[in-house]
Amino acid sequence: MKANLIFYKHQKELPIQLQNRSVCEFGEIFQDYDEHVDSIYVCYAQSDELQGEREWEKLGNICYTFVEKNHITHVEIDENNCEKINMPVFLEGFYKADYHFDRYLSSKDRKEVSLKLPKPFENISINAQKAAAAVHVARDICNEPANKLYPTRFADYLTQLFDLTDVEVEIIQSKDLKEKEFYAIETVGKGSEYAPCVAILTLKNSGEDPVALIGKGITFDSGGVNVKTGSAIAEMKMDLGGAAAVIGAMKLLADRNTACHVKAILPMAVNVSGANAYLPSDVIQYRDGTTVEVGNTDAEGRLVIADAILYAQQLGIDRMIDIATLTGNVGQALGLKTAAIYSNDIKLSTKLYKYGQKSGDSVWPMPLEKDYKRYLNSEVADISNMSNHPFAGSITAALFIEHFVKEGTKWIHIDMANTTKIFPSTKLEASGFGTKLLYELIVQREELWDD
């Protein structure tokens, strides 16, 4: 079925038979049936409360959802009023909505939707499709079942994904982790039959100093010996949401040929209990000599992120962003839509809110309350990976990671454990959160890191 998509702001722009039904509300949508080509009328009138850029993305999402629901397969956007639409963001929303994780369904009853635009907007459409494709990659990674995407297979996937791009992929295999001083990653992953590894992605098409993106890549997290309980444990296949966001951002940077120098470090492991699993009370010594007492095996994310941070600093990188599904506590603080951001520079924290709004990945600055670090004290090691206090879990996790950030390094930490799923859906469906945010932070890096 074919349809023309027409934007309108006032009732008088609608056919007479639809005018009385319209209240000219943003996102209002009508279909006018015709024996040849239907017309879809979409209202773009915005009230004072709907001035945000991401509202245009929602409008694109609304349009795609309507088109798919009504079995329309060919859409042509009418040129009328197009100049009044934030077309790059609208198209991004349209293409992002074109997502279904159905590769394991034996029957797929879904038809592709083609979109034709007025000529002046064709290049914009290409860019929007690249953004949507990057987010879809992040969503695919998080939606994969744990028996289909484990560390070594994850590494193979990255090699294929970035083949024929400017992104170089290096995989540090399990047998080499100790030699390369990734002691925590080797420790966390040794309980599983699926061996841990580290993926390092490098995109260098500028002469500037590198920025590190670090993403937690735990392909399944049972909690280890401190096993998780509850019916939602299947969600733990999404414990690689941080790595997925980094990968999506790297894909978009490469696809858009962005001039930058980025080093992505992705520690990958399966955290389960087994004969060789690490235990509460174990002590891990890191490459800088720091010793950590394992207070809880379900606090593994901060252990592997610390490994990656020390590696990045060893390479001489002094600007880094880590992103991880780190704590359940962050959802209690911020709900299920907004991730927490921390930094050792308060000016960076406040800047990030703006980039979150622009990208559509909502974030909120949180305090690194130094007095809370006492809750990480250990009697047998320099620090414990688990707070001995029931409150401020996201903050103490961030303080643990900051312990490994040396003076002079500019560091941002994003705790996104609460945002891996689509909001407000109740389905186990990944959001792709963080892909666009990390992309924006790299594109706007001069303004971001500027003192």
Active site residues: 228, 302
Rounded-to-integer distance, Cα 385 and Cα 378, Å = 9
Structural tokens at position 327: 């704590």
Q: How far is CA 259 from CA 75, 275, 448, in A?
A: 34, 47, 16
Q: C-alpha angle 48/50/56, rounded to 5°? A: 145
Residue 378 CB-half CA count within 13 A: 20
Residues 287-314 as b/e (b if ≥16 CB within 10 A, e otherwise) read beeeebbbbebbbbbbbbbbbbbbbbbe
Rounded-to-integer distance, Cα 264 and Cα 162, Å = 13
Q: How far is CA 213 from CA 87, 224, 321, 412, 444, in A?
A: 30, 26, 5, 10, 14
Residue 304 CB-half CA count within 13 A: 38
3-state secondary structure of 81: coil
Rounded-to-integer distance, Cα 186 and Cα 48, Å = 53
Residue 32 near residue 63 (C-beta atoms within 8 A): no
Q: CA dihedral in degrees (403, 348, 239, 174; nearest 10)?
A: -50
- For 314-363, the DSSP string reads HTT--EEEEEE---THHHHHHTTT-EEEEESSHHHHHHHHHHHHHHT--E
